């Protein structure tokens, strides 16, 4: 029997470069990379790492800002057979030091904009700090290093079970955890989402979010799998995104709900031709119904909505879906299966609310160095199949569509009643003076906890008038104890509101 070749993502990229070297692989600002240039650049990174002694499967970190150089470093690490560890530039130095130590990375690539941040991390002297776009004492000159590295294929072939990356995701509920994703899982992610989103070799995908974020990979891995083109925004702005869609005839874009909201409010919206868009994907948190309708009416009818979690599960609602219940977030993406589980760990009937659990080809290999968490996240079906717990509450309707009710940890228990913030947010969000809203539970001496609405307004509405308007439309058990205006919410890399940070002042003072 002929042994199957180890033909992963890196081999596919090399094939694109071999047979279509002059096609455009990536664009950022005024610069662009052909597939031939992308291939040579990733080979230089890979060969430089191997010359340093970086071993197969060894973690290599990067703290960089969106750029063609970051794309080259990310996938040069992969081509070296190492394990990519992208780290957010929005963290503190101490947090970066913690993630570096946890991952075991002994090498880190850093762009000029993150130099001071990484210096503040005070990494051990044994860590190689490679400067990209700058030079300085204590830094290895990465630009010179890569310029002299060989451009030939490093000859590394990864197996499906090898580690592709460790993604540190704080989500919205606790301390960061390292999510290990294999080459097999990342390949499934690429081809399944390419199919679901209708991508082809002619796709031009717009990256509006940070490259270190897992969600951003929807507009990176599928088009690169196909030999298509990725357009990278260095920094998101509504007007900038709209201009790029028109200029490059973008066919696919990803925006989190917050980006959709601010784009709808931007005066530039009506000034650009968006007719090239074949798919606008929203993920990170649920789109409010009013936002979805406005995006369809004013941006594109080709709206896709994805629900999922980085550990490995997703559903997708497509433009052709016409669920009887409009709040649906879709059916499982190709290669995934799903169940709804009650408090007794038994599978729920259709229409019954419980925890969403899922499994499939794209699930994580596990949490890095946290086997205790691996076991805690699993639910086993009666037939013995292992599903990952999401921590989210939802139900499946009679048509097979998933509906999200809320995060288990965000649910408010008030006087014995379960209050789901998402229900309240949907009502409050209908007011024209509300740009964005989030609802949290705060302590109450009689009811245990009670809902408080935090609103980012349009204009300068009166909070008391908004409160009265909302409570007149909410059930008696849902009524708000108060409403406060805010200029912004703390968010993670994909725009999801960090409710634990908003709740903390009330609950810390209640102890």
CATH number at residue 493: 3.30.300.30
Q: Are residues 124 and 41 in the same domain?
A: yes
Q: Are residues 391 and 493 in the same domain?
A: no
How far is Cα 486 from Cα 461, in angstroms, rounded to an integer? 12
Residue 440 lies in a domain: yes
Residue 264 parent element (H or E) = helix 257-264
Residue 264 lies in a domain: no
Of 182, 199, 224, the last residue of a domain is 182
Residue 408, pLDDT score: 72
- Distance from CA of residue 168 to its chain's centroid? 11
- In terms of Cβ atoms closer than 10 Å to its own Cβ (0-12, 13-18, 19+), residue 445 is exposed
How far is Cα 363 from Cα 189, in angstroms, rounded to an integer? 9
Q: Are residues 444 and 349 in the same domain?
A: no
Residue 280 lies in a domain: no
Residue 212, pLDDT score: 93
For the chain, list residues with pLDDT below 70: 3-7, 170-176, 415-416, 509-511
- Per DSSP, the three-state class of 45 is helix
How far is Cα 28 from Cα 233, in angstroms, rounded to an integer? 6
Q: Are residues 164 and 89 in the same domain?
A: yes
Nearest CA to 378 among 285, 308, 307, 312?
312
Residue 108 lies in a domain: yes
The pTM for the full model equals 0.86
Please report how the helices 289-298 and 257-264 are oriented relative to each other, as an axis angle in degrees rounded to 10.
Answer: 50
At 73-103, the pLDDT tens digits run 999 999 999 999 999 988 888 889 989 999 9
Residue 87 lies in a domain: yes
> Is residue 150 within 8 Å of 48, Cβ to Cβ?
no
Number of domains making up the chain? 3
Q: Are residues 506 and 415 in the same domain?
A: yes
Nearest CA to 113 among 50, 168, 66?
66
Residue 191 parent element (H or E) = helix 183-196
Q: Are residues 399 and 342 in the same domain?
A: yes
Tell me the CA distances in angstroms from 35 to 8, 72, 103, 154, 341, one per residue in order.
Answer: 17, 11, 31, 17, 46
Q: Are residues 436 and 506 in the same domain?
A: yes
What are the two backbone dihedrals, phi and then psi, of residue 60, each rounded to the nearest 5 degrees?
A: -130, 125
Q: β-strands 303-309, 279-282: how paired?
A: parallel
How far is Cα 244 from Cα 355, in angstroms, rounded to an integer? 40
Residue 470 lies in a domain: yes
Residue 275 lies in a domain: no
DSSP class per residue in 348-398: PPTT--EEEEEEETT--SEETT-HHHHHHTEEE-TT--EEEEEEEEEEE-T
For residue 113, the domain's CATH number is 3.40.50.980
Euclidean distance between the first and the last CA atom of the chain, given in angstroms as a whole number: 67
Tell me which residue range forms the domain holding 68: 9-182
Of 349, 371, 406, the last residue of a domain is 406
Q: Are residues 423 and 396 in the same domain?
A: no
Q: Are residues 382 and 486 in the same domain?
A: no
Q: Are residues 359 and 495 in the same domain?
A: no
For residue 356, the domain's CATH number is 2.30.38.10
Of 380, 406, 432, the last residue of a domain is 406
Q: Are residues 503 and 399 in the same domain?
A: no
Q: Are residues 161 and 48 in the same domain?
A: yes
Residue 61 lies in a domain: yes
Q: β-strands 402-407, 386-396: how paired?
A: antiparallel
**CA-based Rg of the chain, rounded to a whole angstrom?**
23
Enumerate the β-bridge partners of residue 360. Answer: 336
């Amino acid at each position: 029997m002929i042994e199957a070749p180890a033909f992963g993502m890196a081999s596919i990229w090399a094939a694109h470069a071999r047979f279509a070297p002059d096609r455009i692989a990536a664009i950022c600002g005024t610069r662009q990379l052909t597939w031939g240039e992308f291939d040579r650049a990733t080979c230089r990174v890979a060969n430089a790492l191997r010359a340093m002694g970086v071993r197969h499967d060894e973690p290599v970190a990067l703290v960089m800002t969106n750029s063609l150089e970051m794309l080259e470093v990310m996938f040069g690490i992969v081509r070296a057979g190492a394990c990519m560890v992208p780290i957010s530039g929005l963290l503190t130095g101490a947090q970066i030091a913690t993630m570096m130590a946890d991952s075991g990375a002994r090498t880190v690539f850093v762009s000029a904009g993150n130099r001071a941040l990484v210096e503040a991390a005070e990494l051990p002297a044994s860590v190689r700090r490679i400067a990209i776009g700058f030079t300085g004492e204590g830094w290895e000159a990465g630009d010179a290093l890569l310029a002299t590295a060989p451009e030939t294929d490093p000859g590394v072939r990864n197996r499906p079970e090898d580690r592709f990356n460790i993604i540190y995701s704080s989500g919205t509920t606790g301390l960061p955890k390292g999510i290990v994703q294999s080459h097999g899982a990342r390949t499934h992610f690429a081809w399944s989402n390419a199919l679901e989103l209708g991508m082809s070799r002619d796709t031009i995908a717009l990256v509006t979010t940070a490259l270190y974020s897992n969600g951003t990979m929807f507009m990176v891995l599928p088009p690169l799998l196909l030999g298509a083109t990725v357009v990278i925004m260095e920094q998101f702005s509504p007007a900038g995104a709209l201009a790029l869609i028109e200029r490059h005839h973008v066919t696919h874009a990803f925006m989190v709900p917050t980006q959709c909201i601010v784009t709808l409010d931007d005066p530039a919206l009506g000034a650009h031709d968006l007719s090239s868009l074949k798919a606008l994907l929203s993920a990170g948190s649920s789109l409010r119904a009013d936002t979805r309708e406005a995006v369809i009416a004013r941006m594109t009818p080709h709206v896709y909505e994805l629900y999922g979690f980085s550990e490995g599960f997703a559903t997708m609602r497509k433009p052709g879906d016409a669920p009887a219940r409009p709040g649906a977030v879709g059916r499982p993406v190709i290669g995934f299966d799903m169940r709804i589980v009650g408090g007794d760990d038994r599978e729920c009937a259709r229409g019954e609310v419980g925890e969403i659990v899922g499994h499939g080809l794209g699930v994580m290999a596990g949490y890095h160095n946290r086997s205790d968490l691996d076991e805690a996240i699993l639910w086993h079906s009666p037939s013995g199949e292992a599903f990952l717990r999401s921590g989210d509450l939802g139900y499946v309707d009679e048509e097979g569509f998933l509906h999200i009710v809320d995060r288990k940890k965000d649910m408010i228990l008030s006087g014995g009643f379960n209050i789901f913030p998402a229900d309240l947010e949907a009502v409050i969000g209908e007011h024209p003076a509300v740009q964005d809203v989030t609802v949290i539970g705060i302590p109450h001496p009689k009811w245990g906890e009670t809902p408080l609405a935090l609103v980012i307004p349009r204009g300068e509405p009166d909070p008391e008038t908004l409160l009265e308007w909302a409570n007149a439309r909410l059930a008696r058990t849902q009524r708000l104890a108060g409403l406060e205006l805010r200029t912004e919410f703390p968010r993670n890399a994909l725009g999801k509101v960090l409710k634990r940070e908003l709740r903390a002042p009330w609950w810390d003072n209640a102890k």
